[in-house]
Structure 1
């Protein structure tokens, strides 16, 4: 089934589009001082965050590149329509570079896991129930697009998700790996649910972290241009088929439409066991 369609490297599950050669090369990937890196588990809102960052950089005059050009897939993957791994393409890109990764912290470039100087790392997090549902629906679209066969039933996918038998491994282990950097000033941690509640405030927080100064009207305009509906329209026009299928509902709490009471309890027990006492909490409403 698609939930277990991965290969294992150093006890971690990866999609086949993340090759051994890439994973061995990435720790030494050269990070530049003005790099902006978005980190997340899959389907946590990383593309939404990247759109906001791109718009902020354009508004601040730091780049003239179109948003669609600035956006890219995870650096560790070789996308179907690409001629080379993401990190190779990224190495040739001019600054400022905005890029993302779904890698657990121990596999990330050293300049991201232990950033120096002015490097900025934004960690996007979303409650695991909604992350699982979004991941499931994305897999349902991606499997036929990539010719990967029949996607899994939800019940199978939910069990694999809680069991960590999925690409990029256990959700809780992944987020906790990055969460240990929460006191490092190179990092900004954001939650999908908080951004849904107050997008203008979140845009301002991101701008401040990136040392971008804009007036209230500019921040409000970027927030308006970065709503889910606007992003979905923009992504539908992308040249990349995999990008066109990324946006779905863009809401918090959609898990209530998918998880059975027993599945919800299984998720709760798993999160309690993994996250209790870590200071990392998620909202599920």
Structure 2
């Protein structure tokens, strides 16, 4: 498969190759037949995206949409729950629905084999292949939608309809650790942590490379319809982020409401919330990465940040 190229509309799909790609295939192909690099963007995806890319790119965007866009494991679920509760009634029956129903994962259907059958799965389960696309077609306005897609693969109307977009970034070292545990739990990863680090900084894991993903939105952060926030700020001062997001969404909140929302979206509460608890708040790279791995992260990061004014995650002086 390595090297095969397919053209679909304005997109080009090339089967990934190289050492990191071989590790990827060996350790993460339980549910995926092959991985491809997509141009434009250079991002890596399961080859199922070939069947969906044009649908996604042509998806009709509404001005009153609210999109949460992140690289995986960057605090997505946390942000989704906060946004949804600011926009709607957190005490309603709807708030008890699975987050993927009230805040659908835009490209989920392209990550799984459409023929996949899971014994006991409900017909309306949003994780059943094809169901997310159905949910998107019937979602009532104002719609709340989540995506991990890079800029080039998102719906083109995002840049003409100008809906509100909240982008969340997180230190890639913590993302890597969290993504590792996610892949073991949900994607059948069979390799070790060192192999995963090599896949991650080799820009071969699904949705990689992470730095262009972040920097493309960093360069758009001054647009009035885009709010760029950090996972670390949410962790350090969640009430302040609640107020920032509320202001961005045009929602007036009292101090008591801010306090209640911050408590509802705290680590402790989210871990007990059955409707929203599908995020792994694992990170802590300092207790997982070896000195050699930290040096590899530094070299990789500095390559991407050269010439950029992106101010975060430059604490490599002691590496």
Shorter-chain TM band: 0.7 to 0.9
Instruction: Specify the alignment match of 1:104 in structure 2.
Output: 150
Instruction: Specify the alignment match of 2:46 in structure 1.
Output: 15
Instruction: Specify the alignment match of 2:184 in structure 1.
Output: 140
Q: Distance in 2 between matches of 1:96 and 1:184?
A: 20
Equivalent residues of 1:76, 1:85 under 8 A apart? no
* Structure 1 residues 64 and 115, CA gap change in structure 2 (3 angstroms): farther
* Structure 1 residues 22 and 85, CA gap change in structure 2 (3 angstroms): farther
Deviations 1:220-269 (A, max 9, x none): 110111001111111xx34xxxx75x333x366x0011100010111111
* Structure 1 residues 115 and 257, CA gap change in structure 2 (3 angstroms): farther
Instruction: Specify the alignment match of 1:47 in structure 2.
Output: 77
Deviations 1:75-122 (A, max 9, x none): 11226632415344212111121111111100000122x1435x1000
Deviations 1:262-285 (A, max 9, x none): 101111111111013322232488
Instruction: Specify the alignment match of 2:13 in structure 1.
Output: none
Instruction: Specify the alignment match of 2:23 in structure 1.
Output: none
Q: Distance in 2 between matches of 1:223 and 1:52?
A: 8
Helix, strand or coil at the partner of 1:33: coil
Helix, strand or coil at the partner of 1:152: coil
| 2:135 matches 1:89 | yes
Segments of 5+ residues of structure 2 without an aligned counterpart are 1-25, 117-126
- Length-normalised TM-score, structure 1: 0.85
Helix, strand or coil at the partner of 2:157: helix
Equivalent residues of 1:3, 1:166 under 8 A apart? no
Q: Distance in 2 between matches of 1:256 and 1:284?
A: 14
| 2:279 matches 1:233 | no
Q: Distance in 2 between matches of 1:99 and 1:73?
A: 5
Instruction: Specify the alignment match of 2:9 in structure 1.
Output: none
Segments of 5+ residues of structure 1 without an aligned counterpart are 145-149
Helix, strand or coil at the partner of 1:121: strand
Equivalent residues of 1:164, 1:170 under 8 A apart? yes
Q: Distance in 2 between matches of 1:251 and 1:152?
A: 18
Pairing partner for 2:97 from 55, 68, 74 = 68
Helix, strand or coil at the partner of 1:278: coil
* Structure 1 residues 3 and 178, CA gap change in structure 2 (3 angstroms): farther
Greater C-alpha radius of gyration: 2
Instruction: Specify the alignment match of 1:25 in structure 2.
Output: 55
Helix, strand or coil at the partner of 1:165: coil
Residue correspondence of structure 1 range 105-254 to structure 2 within 5 A: 105-112=151-158, 114-117=159-162, 119-144=163-188, 150-234=189-273, 237-238=274-275, 246-248=278-280, 250=281, 254=284
- Length-normalised TM-score, structure 2: 0.76
Q: Distance in 2 between matches of 1:54 and 1:159?
A: 36
Equivalent residues of 2:166, 2:229 under 8 A apart? yes
